[in-house]
Structure 1
C-alpha cells in the first residue's frame, strides 16, 4: 500500500464531469481504464453545483460519477469543493469577498473569492465538508480527501475589517500585551506607539513605507489564517473518516505560505508544478521544488497537477514537444513522488482554462497528446515497484520562511535584488548537474544525517538556530547577509552575523550592495581555485568584513573593496560575503572535503537521481547522451539488462533497478515511514 489505498504509482488528473453532459461520462471512464488511470481528483470547484442554494444539497450527480469511477477501477481524490464559494454566498454575504491593500473589495467571477478570516465563509466550508464526509465516508472510490485548492494562489491576504479583527487577535496571542507588540515592532520609530490592540490595522496602503516588522507579522498571520481554514475542514474529515488521508495541493516553493507548518498539518504532501517548456533550464528549478516536497515530511509525495502540454496562463503558452510530458513525469518520480497526476483529464471547451492541455485533448483519441497519455500510463505500470522507496541525501539546503519574508520586505532593505529562490538555485543547480542528492531543511532541524549543510541566506537567525548550525559536525556554508536580525526583524547587537559571529569568526563592518551592471572581482586562494581561473566575478552584493578568527580564502580585487576578505573559513564553516556568478569553486572544494559523491557520472543535460535501488537517468537535452554505468541493472522501462556504456536518446530516460539495498527512512533520508517534524522543526 502506498500513500493512499491505491497500490503502485498514482496516475490520472483533475476530472470535471460537471462541465460535460452525462453521456460523455461513460466515454471518460472507459478511456481512463484504457489509459491506466488509477486516481481522479473530483469536485474541486463544484460547490455551486453541490449546494445550489443555502443548505440545499444536490449530491446525485456526484454519486453517479463516483460510482462510475469505482466500477472502472479508478479511485477518487475527493475534494471538499470549498476552493471557491458559490454566487449565492457572496451575494447574500458580500463581506465574504476579499479586500485589497488599497481598500477595494474584489468581486466574484474568478477563483478564491473569499476572505480567509470570514466566519461566514469558514462556517459554510465546514458545513459542506461535513456533508461531503457523511455522504461519502464509506464510498469505495474514496482514497484521499482534497481540501481547498492551491491555497494563496489568488487570495493570500485580505485587508477588510474582519481580517483586521482577526489580525489583532493573532497579535495578542503572539505578543501578549500591547507593550510587547510595541517592543517587537519598534514603534518608537516614526511615532507609531500603540496604546491598545484595536488601534492596529493590517499593513494597508499608506503614504510611505510600512513598518517592516508589521509586514513580517502580517506575512506570518496570512499563512496561519489560511492554515486555520484548512484545519477546520480537516477536523471534520478526521472526525467522520479517520482512516482517509488528507491533502491540499502545494504550489512548489511558494513565498506566501510556510510549507513546513502546512506539511505538518496534512497526511500526504502533494504539489502542483508547471515548468515552462520554452525554458531549457526549467527542469532544474522544478527539481529543487520536488526535493522540497520530498523533504517536507521526509517521505514520498504526490505530483497532483502538471500540464500534459501547454498551460493557459503565460503570455506565451508553449506546448511540450514530443517526449517532454513523459520526461517531466519521470523526473517527479525520480525526486520521490509516488504519483504523476495532471490538470486535467478532459480538455475544457470553455472558460479561462479552455486552452490548458489535458490527458484527453480537444482532438480526442486521434491526437498526439492521447498517444502520450497511453505511453505514460503503460510506463507507470512498469515502474510500480518503485513506490515507497526512499532517497538518501548527504547535502541539505536551509529554507526558513520567516527569514525569507524578512529578507524580501518591501522598501526597507540595503538592496531589493536579494531573492531567496535565486540564492537557493545558485547552489542547487551545480549539484543537480553533478547528480548529487539534496534535501531541504528548516533552520531548526537536527542536521546530524548530513555531510554538508548550505544556508544560502539566513537573514533572520535566532540563538537556537545558530546553536543547531554550530552543533553540526559536518561542513557548513553560509551565504551573505545572514545573521542580521532576530525574529522581530531587529538588528542583532553588534550587527551581522549576530549569533553566528563565533561560529564564523568575523563581523560584517558594512553591507556593500553593488549597483546593477557592476561586477566585483574576487581572487581565490589556490585550494578554491583548482584548475580554474584565479579570479571570479561577483554581482549584486558584497560586504566589508572584519575578520577576527577565520582564514581568508578569497579577497576582493579592485574597486573600493580591494584587498578586503570576501570568503572566509573557521573550522569547517565557510562564509561567503558576496554573490558569486558561479559558486562551483567553493562547492567543489567543500564537497570533496566532505566525501560527497554523485550517484552517477553523467554528461551535461543528463539528470541522475537514486531512490533506494533505483537509478534514474533523465536526458533533458535535445541530443543523444552517452555515459558509463558504474553497476549493471535492469531498465524497468524497456526490460533490458544494461551494463557498461549506454546511450540515452534525447528527452528519454532509463530507470535502472540495481542490486543496491533499499534506503530506510532516517534523518537525511526520505521513506514511506519517515518521521514527522518535531515542534522545533516546524
Structure 2
C-alpha cells in the first residue's frame, strides 16, 4: 500500500505522492482507532497529519503530560504502513492556559478582549503563550523526534487564520520594539510615516500604539507597519517551535500550512524561505462562479512560493465545508478533478481535512474522507478510487511543471497598501484583479507562473511576457529590475494605479506613475475612478471597468487604444513603449474578462510566446510535468460537460490505455499520460 520513499532533500522519508488527511483520534474512542487504520489501508492513505488540535489531550492540566493515547495511535499507524506528519498542537491552547493567563487572549481594535473557546485564542506576542508552546513542543520533539513513523513535522496550523492581529498592551510594547529595531529613532519614523499630517508627530516612543479604533482615519503608514509587525510575530512563533523540533528530530522536514486561497495577512514569500516543504490548504468558495479557475491560480501561486519545486496540498475538502453561508456539496467526480488539478500543477501529494467526519463540534458538518455514513457512501467510494489513482501516479513524484512563458507578479505589500481605507475607489481590489488576468490566460489554455516583486532581471529573463496587473506600491529596486528585463528583450504589461507610492505609502516624487514613469514613457495627469458598475468603451472594441486615467504619452510612446467613452474619452487607454530589445505596455483601465482574454492573446503573440497547446482552454487544462531525467507526463483535466481530444502519445497511467497520437478524455474526467 505505501508509496515509494524518495530520499532526495527536503522530502526525505515522506511518501510520495502522499495521500491522506488530518487525523484527530482524540475525538474518538480507542476502538475506532483500529478501524481507522483498516480503512486507511483500504483507501490507499500513506500520510496523516496528527495532533494538530491535541494540546488539551496531551496536557490535560498544566504540567501533567499524558502521551499514552498518542503513543498507541502512532504505533497503530506505523504498523499499518501509514506515515505521520506530527504537529505541534499550539494552534489550540487548552482552557486551563487561558484561565491561568487571561492576558494572553487577543484584543480587538476596539479594546475588546476575546474569550477563549475557539482555536487560536492567543496573542502571538504573549510571553506566556510562547513559553508554554515551547514546552509542549519540546516534550513532543524529545519523545517522537526519532520515531520511525514520524516523517515530517507540522508546526502550528494556519498561522494567523483567526488571530492575525492583536491590539493588546503586550502587542503594543512588542510593536514599539519592532519599530525601534526597524527605524532606530523617532525622527526617522516621523519622517517615513509623514506624521506632520494632522499633527500626529511622535515625541516619545510611549506614544506609539497599534492602529486602534479612533475618531477618524489613521495614518496608512502606521497601518501598513502594523500589518508587517503582526505577520513577523506569527512567523517568530513558527520559527521558535521549528528550531526546537529541528534540534531533536534532525533530517526530517519541517513545515506549516499556508492558505494561499483568500488569506491576506501573511507574506508567504517570506514564510516560504522558512519551511523545508511548502504546504498549502485550499478551499473553494462554493458561490464563486470562477472556482475552477481558482483551483489553478492557487496551485500556480503555491508552486511559485515553492520556487517551482514540488509542494504539498496539506488540506482541501472532499465535499462541502461548514463555514460558508451556503455549503454546497461537490458534484460527483469533482473531488477527483480538484485533487488532480493540484497534482498537475506541482503538488507531490493531496491531503484532506479531515479523515473522519466529526460527530460534534464546530466542524461537524465539514466533509471528510470517512463521512458520517461511513464506508458505504459516494464520497468514501470516490476517496478510495482517488487513493488507488494517486498510487498509480507515484512515478510522477519529484518532477516539476514545465516552465511557463508568462508570469504574473504577486506582492503582499502592494495588496495590503492598495486595500487600506481612504483609497480613491473601494473597487480597486488586488487579489481579484490578479485572479482575473490569470483566469484570462487559463481560459485561453495558456500556462502562467507567479513571481514576487523582488525577482531580479536575471530571474525574470526566462519569461517572454511579465504581467503586473496591480502594483500600487512599488520600490525603485523593482522598477530597475523591470527596466533591465525589458531592455534584455522581455515584454512587460503594467495595470493602472501602479508605481505611485513607496514602501511607506508615501507618494513617489514627480508625476505619476512615480518610479515607473521613465520605464513606461508616460505621465498620468489625473486618476478618474468610475461609478459603481460603470463601464467605458475603448476604440479597439475592449471594455474597461472600475477605473480610468488621463494619460499624457512621452515622445516615442505609441497609443494602441483610446477611450471612446467615459471621463477620459479620446485619451490614451493602452500605450506601448519600446525599451532596448523589449517593450512595455501600460493600461489606464481595468478590463472585463472577455477583453482581457483577447488582449492577453494579442500580447502573448507580440511577445513571441507559443500558441496554447491544442485542445487546451475553455475548461480543459493541459499541464506537463517533467523529471530531471527527461520523462514527461501530460495531465489533461476536463472540467466541461463534453469529451475532449488532446494530441498526445503515450500511456494513460490512470486507465492503462495507450494514446496513439490523441487522448480522448470524457466529460468531467482526467487523464495522466506518460509521454513516449
TM-score range, shorter chain: over 0.9
Give the deviation of 1:279 after TM superposition.
4.2
Deviates more, 1:249-258 or 1:477-486: 249-258
Does the aligned pair in 1 maintain the 2:15–2:83 contact within 8 Å? no
Separation in structure 1 between the aligned mates of residue 335 and residue 72 of structure 2, nearest angstrom:
31
Separation in structure 2 between the aligned mates of residue 603 and residue 557 of structure 1, nearest angstrom:
31
Give the deviation of 1:52 after TM superposition.
1.3
In the alignment, what sits opposite 1:584?
597
In the alignment, what sits opposite 1:97?
105
In the alignment, what sits opposite 1:615?
634
Of 463, 466, 470, the match for 1:453: 466
Give a deviation string over 1:194-235, Cα, whole Å, max 9, x none.
012111000000010111111011111111110011001111
The question of 1:144 aligning with 2:144 is answered: no
Separation in structure 2 between the aligned mates of residue 483 and residue 500 of structure 1, nearest angstrom:
6
Separation in structure 2 between the aligned mates of residue 217 and residue 603 of structure 1, nearest angstrom:
41
Q: For 1:187-198, what aligned pairs fall within 5 Å after superposition?
A: 187-198=195-206
Q: Report the aligned-residue RMSD.
A: 1.3
Size of the alignment, in residue pairs? Answer: 646
In the alignment, what sits opposite 1:632?
649
Does the aligned pair in 2 maintain the 1:276–1:318 contact within 8 Å? no
TM-score (norm 1): 0.93
The question of 1:175 aligning with 2:193 is answered: no
**Structure 1 unmatched ranges of 5 or more:** 525-534, 660-682
In the alignment, what sits opposite 2:554?
548
Separation in structure 1 between the aligned mates of residue 211 and residue 566 of structure 2, nearest angstrom:
40
Separation in structure 2 between the aligned mates of residue 491 and residue 376 of structure 1, nearest angstrom:
52
Give the deviation of 1:498 after TM superposition.
1.1
In the alignment, what sits opposite 2:371?
361
Alpha-carbon distance change, 646 to 238 in structure 1, aligned in 2, over 3 angstroms:
closer
Q: Secondary structure of the residue that 1:637 maps to in structure 2? A: coil
Give the deviation of 1:649 after TM superposition.
1.9
Give the deviation of 1:368 after TM superposition.
1.1
Q: Secondary structure of the residue that 1:557 maps to in structure 2? A: coil
In the alignment, what sits opposite 1:508?
524
TM-score (norm 2): 0.94
Separation in structure 2 between the aligned mates of residue 512 and residue 587 of structure 1, nearest angstrom:
24
Of 152, 157, 166, the match for 2:165: 157
Does the aligned pair in 2 maintain the 1:624–1:647 contact within 8 Å? no
In the alignment, what sits opposite 2:330?
320
Structure having greater relative contact order (Cα 8 Å, sep ≥ 6): 1
Give the deviation of 1:497 after TM superposition.
1.2
Of 373, 376, 384, the match for 2:394: 384
In the alignment, what sits opposite 2:511?
495
Does the aligned pair in 1 maintain the 2:445–2:617 contact within 8 Å? no
Give a deviation string over 1:139-164, Cα, whole Å, max 9, x none.
11101111111111111000000000
**Structure 2 unmatched ranges of 5 or more:** 1-5, 627-631
In the alignment, what sits opposite 1:667?
none
Separation in structure 2 between the aligned mates of residue 436 and residue 300 of structure 1, nearest angstrom:
21
Does the aligned pair in 2 maintain the 1:599–1:610 contact within 8 Å? no
Alpha-carbon distance change, 515 to 278 in structure 1, aligned in 2, over 3 angstroms:
closer
Give a deviation string over 1:349-406, Cα, whole Å, max 9, x none.
0001111111111111111111111100100011111111111121111111111111
In the alignment, what sits opposite 1:290?
299
Give a deviation string over 1:416-444, Cα, whole Å, max 9, x none.
11111111112101211233221111111
The question of 1:9 aligning with 2:17 is answered: yes
Of 113, 121, 124, the match for 1:113: 121
In the alignment, what sits opposite 1:662?
none
In the alignment, what sits opposite 2:629?
none
Deviates more, 1:462-471 or 1:559-568: 559-568
Does the aligned pair in 2 maintain the 1:606–1:625 contact within 8 Å? no
